[in-house]
Amino acid sequence: MSPETVILVALALPLLGAIGIVLAGKSPNLREGVTLVTALGLFACVVQLLDPVLTGARPAVSLLEPLPGLPIAFRVEPLGMLFALIASGLWIVNSIYSIGYMRGNDEKHQTRFYVCFALAIAAALAIAFAANLLTLFLFYEVLTLITYPLVTHAGTDKARSGGRTYLVILMGTSVLFLLPAIIYVWHVTGTTDFRAGGILPVGMDKGAVAILLALFMFGIGKAALMPFHRWLPAAMVAPTPVSALLHAVAVVKAGVFSVVKIVVYVFGLDMLAGVTDWLIAIAGFTIVAASVVALHADNLKRRLAYSTVSQLSYIVLAVAILAPLSVIGAVLHIAAHAFGKITLFFAAGSIYTASHKTEVSQLDGIGRRMPWTMAAFGIGALSMIGLPPAAGFVSKWYLVSGAMAQAQWFTLAVVLLSTLLNAGYFLPVVYRAFFRPLSAEAQAHPHGEAPLPIMIALSITAAGTLALFFFPDVPLALAQQLVAVR
Amino acid sequence: MQAQAGAGRRGRDDIEALIIDILLVLMAFTVLILVRIRHLFTVVVLSGIYSFLMATVLVALDAVDVAMTEAAVGAGVSTVLLLGALHLCKSEEARPAHKPWIPLAVSVSTAALLIYGAMGLPDFADPDAPIHHHVVPRYMQNETDVPNVVTAVLASFRGYDTLGETTVVFTAGAGVIALLRRRRKAVEKADGK
Amino acid sequence: MKHDLVLRVIGKLLIPYILLFALYVQFHGDFGPGGGFQAGVIFAAGIVFYALIFGLENARQVMPDRLVETMLSSGVLIYAGVGLAGLFLGGNYLDYFVLDPNPVHGQHRGIFWVEAGVAITVCGVMLKIFYMFASRGRSE
Amino acid sequence: MLDHFGYVVTVLLMVAGLFIVIARGNLIKKLIGLSIFQTSVYLLYIVPGKLIGGTAPILSPQFSVYSNPLPHVLILTAIVVGVATLALGLALAVRIREAYDSIEEDEILMRDQIANSNEGMNA
Amino acid sequence: MSIAAHLPALQVVLPLISAPLAVLLRRRDLAFWMVTAAAWAAFATAIQLWLQVGASGTISYHIGSWPPPWGIEYRVDRLSSFVLLLVSGMAAVMLPYARTSIEREIPEESHYLFYAMFGLCLAGLLGITITGDAFNIFVFLEISSLATYVLIALGRDRRALTAAYQYLIMGSIGATFIVIGIGFLYLTTGTLNLADMAGRLRGVESSRPVLAALAFLTVGISLKLALFPLHQWLPNAYTYAPSPVTAFLAATATKVSVYVLIRFYFSVFGESLVYEHLPLPQIMLGLSLLAMFGASFIAIFQDNLKRLFAYSSVGQIGYISLGLSFDSVHGLTASIVHLFNHGIAKGAIFLLIGGIAVGIATPGAVAPAPTFDRLAGLAKRMPLTCFGIVLGGLSLIGVPGTAGFISKWYLILAALEQGQFWLVGAILLSSLLAVAYVWRFVEVAYFRAPPAGHVARKEAPLAMLIPAWLLIAATIWFGLDTSVTVDTALDAARQLMGKAQ
């Protein structure tokens, strides 16, 4: 297959998978089988694209042209390649995990769940491969809409209200800020294509650039920059696999991916020199503030959610520094955070499935009953804090190097402070789990590890988190390509 | 001799205009009374009188075809229909519940706009007005060999309008059948309650 | 009113003239005021008059509902048909010139049929509406 | 003479008709107002078509000045439209009277509100 | 006789003849086939005309072979051919739907009259669109209006009667205003032919009767197209009319009125008169914003789904009139595209709501109003219907990939051209209101448990689903491939503004 065909197949496969899931809806085993096969097939497709991209090819396809000069088109470049690899790869693991979780908790509407999941992955891939802003925006919205049923999966009042927040913030920011920004870009340049080095005219008014940047940054609500981060904790009402894949990988990464992509391919790093100070400040504030909230959150998923808010801003911050090294850091962090955070969510879901515990304060001594889960949690936590031998260390290293190169002392201070805060809210969990005695109440309800599929998935991602520390070659190569093409 | 004829003619013309004006004033009175009266039977009778006056004015304005139609339709058909409907309904109008300020404002501003526009129109009976010069002369050439120009224009030049007009009548007829046809069951009464 | 002898006698005398007058208005429309519409209304008025004096049921025997409803649509069809005839004879829609080898005669012919169509529909509709209202009755 | 007297009276008639339509709540009176409104528009078309000393537009060797026939044609159509509207309006009024037992707008509105609130309670 | 040359006449005459034939035959099935065949023929004609106009420019057809301005001229240009396409296409799709739908809504003995009225309404709308004569517009407007009043009154709820009556009064006032406007124009120019009128107006620009005519036509037509403060007739009419009627009206009637407004503004008065001598654009801008926000806001709080989307229509009309207020090619393009796109989407939604009415009815009984408490958990029973409404709703919101996005794009473009950035914000903000009302439906239908003791529901019959889904598919199609819609609208706008390439 030519790379162009592979792109189309990769986009179509999850859609076909969704149809297959609907058809197989009556038989759960067949249905989950379809999901797994689709996920594996998809990953195989995406991997096929890796070699051409690494050797410098940029396969592209154009589908339709709804508006003159504004086609719906796809083009694979390093950044999108990486995002696609992560999303499709983790979908496999997450599918395995979902099987254990959804069955273990007797969730309803499972067919709808798997269908929406497949469609969400299709949308994420389309975002990854988008060749222009319009295509990106189109699938960005599709992703919002298609994940809405996943967020409100439980159908309770709480879920509905969470879903409403989710929709209002994501739709609102994208329609009110992102869309005008795209239209403005088109108005100024006559195109919305992503091009290396940016498309905005050289010598554009700095004020206009700053406003445009602000529109983009706040418009991409999925990047959860404060004050538009509220949807992320709200979305935690969803079942854990949703939180894991979508709110650690696909959705939020679609957000920061768009941030990086727009900064690199629409503005160009040079264009932004001198107009990103406020962004650094806001990203820095978000990192610290979210960490402080996480510190006080007792609900484990909520703590993880705020940790995500904080970690996403690392990526925004890294990009805002505008140093090539820090951009590499941002790209690596997309990968590192994806593996680390999905591990953490998996662990949280594992705890919930096995023991129905949701609060940090209930976790005393649980490490003795669920050693594997809590070990994996520990690895994820290391990655979040940025300690070796976890992936988070590599990305933070690049980030810090970039900041040093630009003499960004504020950034360094933020990173240092947040590292401490991260340690402050993750390590106590690990400590409680392994070194505190089981509470009396917990002793009355014995339980072991979570079901096997959960454990398999958990182990894979934890191993991945470690592996990325030792073998960051592929993401690094892609990131370097991204920066080199300037 | 000629001057005398001219003077006589002008006298006749003035009388023509005067008759028209008197009739118009009468119509205005009829309508003003009509606004006030709440007994619907009287209102219907007054509207019949109004139509007759209208028909008379139309004769004075040389619109004999229109006058004939207005007499037959306005004074005849409409009155019969109204009486028929009144027969099926109550014949006393309720006292208005609130002061009609908004309708009054709407009416007055419409009037102002109308006057504003009408004052710019060509004078009454101005032979130089554009309507007498642009399209009409050809109608007067009698290409269809039908002396009544109104009929010729109605049925031939603008025959398509008249097809539309016939269709309007047909629509009303079929519509009234659809609305007043006896239902096998009285459904709509049961619904709202 | 049904039993008012004077009215019945006058009606009997008058109604034929009303109907005749309607025909006059119809066919004299080319030369004087009048035409299909007025004729249709006057003809219908004659029947309505009849219905008022001799009762609705009698009128319905003279002009049965079936006939009236047929008139309703056939008038429009005649009119539109004249238009189509113009098409088939090689002219535009509603082109009367082509209805006869002599264009002016064609106009006469076209106008005649068109006016007939108008009269039929108008008469039918007026009667039908009258019937519908009259037969509705007060329903308490 | 008053050159625009005809127009002024026409406007008065129109506005009186319009006023009855909007201000009155009785369905039949509204329709009468509507037909006065429509009828008075006839004058707007016909009055300017009149030529003093002219005759009705029926061609004859005796006359040379004719009033304008085109407005007559248009107004013939308008009259027909007017009566068609009136017939339909009255038919509707009769049906409303049967369904609501009233032809006063306020009463009908009130009855609808009651029906609406009942609907809400049943649900 | 060669048919191709007479298509403009046949376009209107075929549906017009089908109606009396339907009444003459009096048989339900014959009437249905008669009117449906006429509608399909009209659609085929419209496609052919659209192609012809696209290939060789404006067509002028002289009825009765009398040349304009003496006779009545039919004039098909880019804009009218586009609107003809919309109107006849909608009728062609909706009639088969109506056949199944009215079985449950209208007593059987009235069916033939329903079809006749439908045919007349169609003929009237097509006639308004195609004619090049001012008075002829009025005549055909009345045909379609009278037919519409009857169609609305055929609804089963008694409130349908009052809705029809209210519409009759407001519609007749509007029509009379239009006659007054045409009268002023006629008295100043001496002609009734639109093109001729435009030519003769150049000499007498901005004289008082012309300005009065502009005002009366604007108000009269605005009544018909339900521009914001003049929309009062619309919500009740849409709510209580039989479902196919609501769908057809929503998709075509107001759109044709918009067409008439555009026709008068650009083809008769000329943009310089409309846009320079009066504060009309400002007024229209204000009213449009009021509609976009006011009506959409009211829509959010409606409990009856039909009424909700009726108010949404009023709001969406605001977008159309907003495009008109710009006085630019892109603004006009936005209006034209949106009248098409919104027509399709709203038509589809109302068709689907008709399906819901069937679905929630107990067999044999009158369908209850589609209020939200009856719709809880409906998506499970009627997945296709509900999903269709969601897709249609996305088009109302203007989500990319749907037709609604395309029109909003041009609207925003027009605002940007004039440097009105705040307006871009307003347009986008108002689409969030659309999100709110569409999402009310989504939440109720998808995420609320069905009411206890609810009747068994199943998907609407295929005969109703297929037409509705055809339109939904069209909504998506025209969101992705705009070669038909945008190209035609751009051409039409350029033609109207005298900026043809």
CB D42 within 8 A of CB B70: yes
Examine the domain organization and report whether E298 and E439 are in the same domain.
Answer: yes
Q: Is the pLDDT of residue E366 over 90?
A: no
Helix (H, G, I), strand (E, B) or coil at D104: strand
CA distance A309 to A252: 9
The rounded Cα E469 to chain-centroid distance in angstroms is 19
> What's the pLDDT score for residue E365?
66
> What's the pLDDT score for residue A121?
87
Q: Is the pLDDT of residue D2 over 80?
A: no
Minimal Cα–Cα distance from E61 to chain C, Å?
8
Give the domain extent around E475: 279-501
Candidate from A444-453, B66-75, E21-30, E264-273 with smallest mean pLDDT: A444-453
Best of C84, C93, C97 to mutate (most E CBs within 10 Å, chain E): C93
Mean pLDDT value across residues E468-483:
91
B97 and D1: CB-CB below 8 Å?
A: no
> What's the pLDDT score for residue D122?
47
Minimal Cα–Cα distance from C5 to chain B, Å?
23
Task: Give the single-character DSSP code of E6.
Answer: G
List of domains in chain D = 5-122 (1.10.287.3510)
CA distance E117 to B164: 14
> What's the pLDDT score for residue A477?
81
Determine the Cα angle at D111 with ends D107 and D114, to 5°.
140
Cβ of residue D62 closer than 8 Å to a chain C Cβ: no
- % of chain A residues with pLDDT over 70: 99
Best of C52, C79, C87 to mutate (most B CBs within 10 Å, chain B): C79
Q: Indicate contact of C with A: 3+ CB pairs under 8 A.
A: no
Chain B segment 96-135 residues within 8 A of D by beta carbon are 96-97, 100, 102-104, 106-108, 110-111, 114-115, 118-119, 121-127, 129, 131-132, 135
E63: nearest CB among C76, C84, C94: C94
Of A179, A42, A65, nearest in space to A122 by CA = A42
User: For D4-60, what is each residue's pLDDT tens digit?
Assistant: 677 788 888 888 999 999 888 889 999 999 999 999 888 888 888 877 777 778 777
C76 and B167: CB-CB below 8 Å?
A: yes
Of D68, D7, D57, nearest in space to B133 by CA = D68
Q: Is the pLDDT of residue A305 over 60?
A: yes
Examine the domain organization and report whether B78 and B154 are in the same domain.
Answer: no
> What's the pLDDT score for residue B21?
84
CB D77 within 8 A of CB B162: yes
Examine the domain organization and report whether B14 and B88 are in the same domain.
Answer: yes
E64 and C92: CB-CB below 8 Å?
A: yes
What pLDDT band is residue E500 in, cutting at 50, 70 and 90?
low
Burial of C70 (0-12, 13-18, 19+ CB in 10 A): middle
CA distance A376 to A347: 7
CA distance D92 to D102: 12
**Cα torsion at E305, E309, E312, E316 (round to 10°)?**
160
ipTM confidence score: 0.86
What pLDDT band is residue B17 in, cutting at 50, 70 and 90?
confident
Q: Is the pLDDT of residue E501 over 70?
A: no
* Structural domain includes residue B110: no
E162 and D93: CB-CB below 8 Å?
A: no
User: Closest chain E residue to D68 measured between Cα atoms?
Assistant: E190
Cβ of residue B135 closer than 8 Å to a chain E Cβ: yes
Mean pLDDT value across residues A141-165:
83
Amino acid (1-letter code) at residue C50:
Y
Chain E residues whose CB is inside 8 A of the C88 CB are 1
Chain E residues whose CB is inside 8 A of the C97 CB are 65
Q: Is the pLDDT of residue B192 over 70?
A: no
Mean pLDDT value across residues C88-106:
88
E143 and B171: CB-CB below 8 Å?
A: yes
D93: nearest CB among E165, E183, E371: E165
What pLDDT band is residue A39 in, cutting at 50, 70 and 90?
confident
User: For E229-269, what is each residue's pLDDT tens digit?
Assistant: 888 899 999 999 999 999 999 999 999 999 999 999 998 88
Can you read off the two tokens belonging to residue E408? 């909003």
Examine the domain organization and report whether E46 and E127 are in the same domain.
Answer: yes
CA distance E335 to E406: 11
User: For A110-121, what is each residue's pLDDT tens digit?
Assistant: 788 888 888 888
User: Closest chain B residue to D43 measured between Cα atoms?
Assistant: B58
Averaged pLDDT of chain E: 89
Q: Highest-confidence range of A405-419, A423-437, B92-106, E477-491, by mean pLDDT?
A: E477-491
Q: Is the pLDDT of residue E136 over 90?
A: yes
What pLDDT band is residue A66 in, cutting at 50, 70 and 90?
confident
* Structural domain includes residue E188: no
Q: Is the pLDDT of residue D1 over 70?
A: no
> What's the pLDDT score for residue B3?
46
A172 and E486: CB-CB below 8 Å?
A: no
Minimal Cα–Cα distance from D87 to chain C, Å?
8
C87 and E21: CB-CB below 8 Å?
A: no
Examine the domain organization and report whether B12 and B88 are in the same domain.
Answer: yes
User: For E191-229, what is each residue's pLDDT tens digit?
Assistant: 999 999 988 888 775 688 888 999 999 999 999 999 888
> What's the pLDDT score for residue D123?
41
Number of CB pairs < 8 Å for D and E? 79
B171 and E110: CB-CB below 8 Å?
A: no
Chain E residues whose CB is inside 8 A of the D108 CB are 162
D50 and B140: CB-CB below 8 Å?
A: no
* Structural domain includes residue E111: yes
* Structural domain includes residue B117: no
C33: nearest CB among B68, B76, B169: B68
Give the domain extent around B159: 126-184
Q: Is the pLDDT of residue B193 over 60?
A: no
Chain C segment 104-123 residues within 8 A of E by beta carbon are none
> What's the pLDDT score for residue E331?
92
Averaged pLDDT of chain A: 84
* Helix, strand, coil abundance in chain B, percent, nearest 5: 75, 0, 25
User: For B125-164, what is each residue's pLDDT tens digit?
Assistant: 677 788 888 888 888 887 878 888 888 888 889 999 999 9
Q: How many domains does chain B have?
A: 2
CA distance A200 to D29: 67
Minimal Cα–Cα distance from E461 to chain C, Å?
34
- Backbone dihedral angles phi then psi of residue A34, each to the nearest 5 degrees: -60, -45
Mean pLDDT value across residues A215-229:
84
- Backbone dihedral angles phi then psi of residue D100, each to the nearest 5 degrees: -115, -15
Q: Indicate contact of E with A: 3+ CB pairs under 8 A.
A: yes
> What's the pLDDT score for residue B88?
79
CA distance A416 to A419: 5
Mean pLDDT value across residues A9-35:
84
- % of chain C residues with pLDDT over 70: 95
Q: Is the pLDDT of residue A401 over 50?
A: yes
Boundary-marking domain end, from E216, E241, E264: E264
- Domain coordinates of chain C in residue numbers? 5-136
Examine the domain organization and report whether B88 and B139 are in the same domain.
Answer: no
- Domain coordinates of chain A in residue numbers? 1-272, 276-486
Examine the domain organization and report whether B14 and B86 are in the same domain.
Answer: yes
User: Closest chain E residue to C67 measured between Cα atoms?
Assistant: E24
CA distance E135 to B162: 11
CB E49 within 8 A of CB E232: no
* Structural domain includes residue E60: yes
Minimal Cα–Cα distance from B2 to chain E, Å?
34
CA distance A243 to D73: 75
Examine the domain organization and report whether B17 and B78 are in the same domain.
Answer: yes
> What's the pLDDT score for residue B127?
77
Determine the Cα angle at A357 with ends A353 and A360, to 5°.
130
Minimal Cα–Cα distance from E179 to chain D, Å?
8
- % of chain E residues with pLDDT over 90: 57
* Chain B partners (3+ C-beta pairs within 8 A): C, D, E
> What's the pLDDT score for residue E454?
58
Of E362, E489, E385, nearest in space to E445 by CA = E385
What pLDDT band is residue E456 in, cutting at 50, 70 and 90?
low
Q: How many domains does chain E have?
A: 2
Q: Is the pLDDT of residue B189 over 50?
A: no
Q: Is the pLDDT of residue C36 over 50?
A: yes
